[in-house]
Structure formats: C-alpha cells, structure tokens
C-alpha cells in the first residue's frame, strides 16, 4: 500500500466519513491499448511511520498557472500519486476499471493503485494531456497490467457511450467505473460566471456522470462498483467556486439515489469527497492567485492532500471486501470535518 501503515476498513469508515480532470473541447481519438510487458514489482518493504503534518509539501506555494487543461508534469511541486510509494496486495485481481480524468491527480492515483492491486485499467483524458496519460500507462504496464488510453470530450453524450464501449472491448469487460473528471474555474463574483463556463462545469461534472453510468449499467455484472468523485464543497462550498460546488452536491445526490436503484442488480455505488488536494485542477484556473498560494492552510493539517492519500479509498470502495458499503460518501478533508 502506501508508505504509511494500511488502514483497516473500520479505520476508513471512522476516519474518512464521506470528496477532477476536466473534459474539454477536443474530439475523441481512437483507443490506444498497451499490452503489459514483463512485470516490474510494485514498491516493497516495510511501511514507515510518519507525522502526517509534514509528510508532504506545505504552503505557501509558488504562484503558477497553466492553460486549461493543466499538466501534472509541469506543476511545482509535482503531485504525488503513489508512483514510488503505493504497494498493492492483489485486492482487485482480475478486475477491469474505467477511470475518467485518469491522466493526473486523483484519477491517476486511483489508476496506479488499481493496477498494483491487479486490475486492468482504461483511462480517459484530453488530447492535450497525452503526455501525462502515457506516463500513467507506463506505471500500469510496469505493474504487469493492461493499459487502455481513450482521449476525448466527456461533454459529448455520443463520446461517453463510445468511451464505455471501447473500454469494455479493450479490457474484455468492465466491473469498475470511476466518474472522476471535473472542471473548476474560480470566480470572485457570481456575475462573472458566464453561460459558457456554467455549461462546461455542468456538462463535465454532472451530465458526463449520467451519460457514462447510463452507458455502463447494462454491461456491469453483479459485484461491480461505481465510484463518483464529489468534493467537500458539496456541503461546505467555497464562495469562489459556486458553480463547481453545485455540481458536487449533485454528484452526492446521484450516488445516494442510484445506490438504492441498482442494488437490485448487485451493483454498489459510492462517492469520495476530497477536501483541498494538490492537483492540476487548481493551477488550471481552479483557484485565485491568493487561493493557490495558501492552498490547504485552512485544514488542521496545514497543507493540501496529495492524490496518493486518496488511493486506498478508491481501492476500498471497489474491493469485494466492501460488499456491505453502498450509497456512502467518504470524506478525506485533512481534519476539516464532515457533517
């Protein structure tokens, strides 16, 4: 697992208590699949005990910005997605996952963890994020698993259907769907949220979630898992990302309602609600200049989370050992708390 001792399921329930990357304007490209070469073992060795307050970088951060969608590889510091630390234990052996926004940030951490737990993984992203996606594919292949790369625009319903079909075909089936991609753009006044921004935020964060799930449900077997990335902003919204917060509340309502509907098919639905996490979402317009510089200071830990710190949550919610867990929102907020 990670370089801290792995949490038990009871610890996760007590300590997580219920938390993107963006789809954009580019047209879909054909799926790219890589057959795994000889297996490179995931990191091994004893987990180290570490004070969580100083384990990862703290603010103030360098003020930086990138054109949307931002690349993880150009951030300073580069987010930690578990590339050198996540240790698998075969919890998802033989599983097949599709993760949107899987090129960087939280989606990347989930993809790496899933591969090291034994799953084959398809990721969706934008053409502009190809270099980040290729690097994720390398980590998946080094874990001995199959990587499928499917770039395209989640704001298009037809592409969402093609994405699910291509992932199923390339992976030989599908039993984990992670709806993670999101768009966020900070505005200090409501009047500054244009119709175009509202449309992009809603379609990326809400419509795509509906379209992907509608396309996937007829093909998901009993025991399958759907996981949606929400946010602490669903219940504790920031004043600068009102449109984003509205979509995250919709994500949580979707999880709770759909879980009741599809359990009749043996399918579980859960959500993850992160607090402030250091991902390209922030440097691609998701924060104001001051918000980026002080990002994470409002948490008791005094820093933002790193994507690797969420990886085990996505594994837990996908694993068969969580068979009694559905309709839940797991928060990871750095001590901010959860209602």
- Active site (catalytic) residues: 244
Cα torsion angle, 104, 157, 284, 240, sign? negative
Closest-CA residue to 108 (of 87, 79, 88): 79
The Cα 337–Cα 339 span in angstroms is 7
In terms of phi and psi (left: phi > 0; alpha: psi -120 to 50; beta: otherwise), the region of 143 is alpha
Alpha-carbon distances, residue 236 vs 249, 257, 272, 273, 276 (angstroms): 10, 21, 15, 11, 12
Query: What's the length of the chain?
Result: 339
Q: Count CB neighbours of 231 within 10 A.
A: 32
Closest-CA residue to 67 (of 124, 131, 24): 24
**Cβ neighbours for 175, distance < 8 A, ≥ 6 positions apart:** 95, 96, 97, 220, 221, 223, 224, 225
DSSP 205: I
β-pairing verdict for 147-151 and 96-100: unpaired
> Would you say 225 and 175 are in contact if contact means Cβ atoms under 8 Å apart?
yes
């Amino acid at each position: 697992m990670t370089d801290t001792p792995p949490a038990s399921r009871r610890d996760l329930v007590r300590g997580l208590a219920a938390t993107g990357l963006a789809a954009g304007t580019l047209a879909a490209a054909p799926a790219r699949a890589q057959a795994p070469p000889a297996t490179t073992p995931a990191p091994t060795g004893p987990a180290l005990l570490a004070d969580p307050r100083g384990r990862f970088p703290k603010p103030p951060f360098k003020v930086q910005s990138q054109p949307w969608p931002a690349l993880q590889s150009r951030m300073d510091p580069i987010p930690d997605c578990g590339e050198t630390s996540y240790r698998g234990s075969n919890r998802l052996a033989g599983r097949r996952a599709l993760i949107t926004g899987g090129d960087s940030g939280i989606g990347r951490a989930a993809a790496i963890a899933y591969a090291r737990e034994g799953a084959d993984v398809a990721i969706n992203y934008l053409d502009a994020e190809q270099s980040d996606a290729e690097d994720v594919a390398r980590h998946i292949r080094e874990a001995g698993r199959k990587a499928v790369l499917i770039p395209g625009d989640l704001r298009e319903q037809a592409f969402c259907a093609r994405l699910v079909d291509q992932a199923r075909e390339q992976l030989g089936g599908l039993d984990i769907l992670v709806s993670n991609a999101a768009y966020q753009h900070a505005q200090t006044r409501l009047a500054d949220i244009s119709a175009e921004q509202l449309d992009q935020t809603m379609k990326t964060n809400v419509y795509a979630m509906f379209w992907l799930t509608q396309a996937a449900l007829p093909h998901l077997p009993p025991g399958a898992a759907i996981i949606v990335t929400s946010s602490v902003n669903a219940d504790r919204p920031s004043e600068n990302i009102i449109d984003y917060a509205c979509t995250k509340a919709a994500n949580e309502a979707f999880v709770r309602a759909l879980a009741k509907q599809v359990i009749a098919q043996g399918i579980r639905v859960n959500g993850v609600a992160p607090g402030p996490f250091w991902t390209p979402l922030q440097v691609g317009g998701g924060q104001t200049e001051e918000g980026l510089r002080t990002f994470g200071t409002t948490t008791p830990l005094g820093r933002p989370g790193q994507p690797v710190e969420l990886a085990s949550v996505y594994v837990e919610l996908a694993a068969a050992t969580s068979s009694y867990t559905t309709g839940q929102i797991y928060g990871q907020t750095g001590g901010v708390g959860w209602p």
